[in-house]
Structure 1
């Protein structure tokens, strides 16, 4: 009976944690980051706000866990990269093309990720700084594992190209979602328009690896 009670307690804890995380996402989508108040999160979750401190250590802990579930590059950990078994012989060409295309689709289909991106550039916050630091740590692991031996003294240029591509793809999705879908004559809210952008991503990756 004790074992059943303990497993039931764990399941209840995980259900309550998920309710809090879902509540953060719901508020972020409907009210934006300004609506993320501890009382509102608890009310939306239907769970006593004291449990935020019990399960997450407070709002910062809750935000830390939430952003880890939503941001694309935060989830690309060294463990996840190893599972993907990237080709070490091509300098990361195939891998980075796949990741850029995946990022483009992930942000487009995930409204919470879009709101989170807006939040990161709108307000300084400890949990958001941790998000950015984790993105950089994951990116650094990828650069050193796959690209440094290929680009050597041109690595700074490669990093700069990737910075432009990653941020540009973020912006295209944000623009399409919030203010309009036509950008440089491409409708990024249509399958045809998005396919044109994806072909351009592949072209730019090819050009980088052929000419840098």
Structure 2
């Protein structure tokens, strides 16, 4: 009778890393950033806390990795930018704003990270802000600045107001209420109204520039 050979159980590194990242997200969503302690994260993941140090180097590095994975702009790469942009970036600007609105609305953990960034100084949160600026600079310097020329800073200012509004409306809706200016932001219709407004504002900005060119 042939003896059965039992192979040692191999740990799935990628699966374990994702379990730890998911545990950070669940704790952040349910208890806030003050709950992100090594023992709590390991317990929520159902794994030995030694794996946090083995795979990430420590709790701070694990949390930093999670923060980077959640940000909208940090996950926008050069492949997301069309090769040919004949309209000065209008369609892309509309798309980026509406997609970001949906992204922030759907990712409650990102909302917690945004609030965390207002409440506490942390190197990874500063790095996240810097990375976000670098991603946005790809859009600005290579696409919209050449189109708007002397009005480039005005376009950037409009985008700053619209993006900060996207953050605030979603965080407000998630924490304190359903309506803002009489619009129910938890409803499909309300969300559509906001996204339509974002697109319309971009249309106005580009139309103003076109009128100056003509």
What are the superposed Cα offsets for residues 40-75 of structure 1, whole Å, 9 maximum, x if unpaired?
111111222222121112223212221222111110
Q: TM-score, with normalisation over the residues of structure 1?
A: 0.90
Asked if 1:55 is matched to 2:55, the reply is yes
Separation in structure 2 between the aligned mates of residue 40 and residue 67 of structure 1, nearest angstrom: 17
User: Contact 1:56/1:62 (CA < 8 Å) preserved in 2?
Assistant: yes
What are the superposed Cα offsets for residues 70-118 of structure 1, whole Å, 9 maximum, x if unpaired?
111110122x324xx2542211110010010001111111211221211
Bigger radius of gyration among the two: 2
Separation in structure 1 between the aligned mates of residue 142 and residue 204 of structure 2, nearest angstrom: 21
Separation in structure 1 between the aligned mates of residue 203 and residue 142 of structure 2, nearest angstrom: 19
Aligned counterpart, 1:125: 122
Q: Please identify, of 175-184 and 47-56, the stretch whose mean Cα deviation from structure 2 is larger.
A: 47-56
Separation in structure 1 between the aligned mates of residue 203 and residue 134 of structure 2, nearest angstrom: 25
User: Contact 1:60/1:126 (CA < 8 Å) preserved in 2?
Assistant: no
Q: TM-score, with normalisation over the residues of structure 2?
A: 0.89
User: Contact 1:87/1:95 (CA < 8 Å) preserved in 2?
Assistant: no
Q: Match for 1:92 among 89, 94, 99?
A: 89
Asked if 1:33 is matched to 2:33, the reply is yes
What are the superposed Cα offsets for residues 118-173 of structure 1, whole Å, 9 maximum, x if unpaired?
11111111111111111011001111121111011211111110000001011111
Q: Please identify, of 157-166 and 193-202, the stretch whose mean Cα deviation from structure 2 is larger.
A: 193-202
The structure-2 alpha-carbon separation of the partners of 1:109 and 1:211, relative to structure 1 and needing over 3 Å to count, comes to same
Separation in structure 1 between the aligned mates of residue 31 and residue 38 of structure 2, nearest angstrom: 14
Secondary structure of the residue that 2:119 maps to in structure 1?
coil
Separation in structure 1 between the aligned mates of residue 106 and residue 154 of structure 2, nearest angstrom: 31
Aligned counterpart, 2:133: 136
Q: How many equivalent residue pairs?
A: 202
Asked if 1:179 is matched to 2:176, the reply is yes
Question: What 5-or-longer segments of structure 1 have no aligned partner?
Answer: none
Aligned counterpart, 2:24: 24
CA RMSD in angstroms comes to 1.6
User: Contact 1:72/1:103 (CA < 8 Å) preserved in 2?
Assistant: yes
Secondary structure of the residue that 1:121 maps to in structure 2?
helix
Secondary structure of the residue that 2:112 maps to in structure 1?
helix
Separation in structure 2 between the aligned mates of residue 25 and residue 116 of structure 1, nearest angstrom: 10
Question: What 5-or-longer segments of structure 2 have no aligned partner?
Answer: 1-6, 210-214
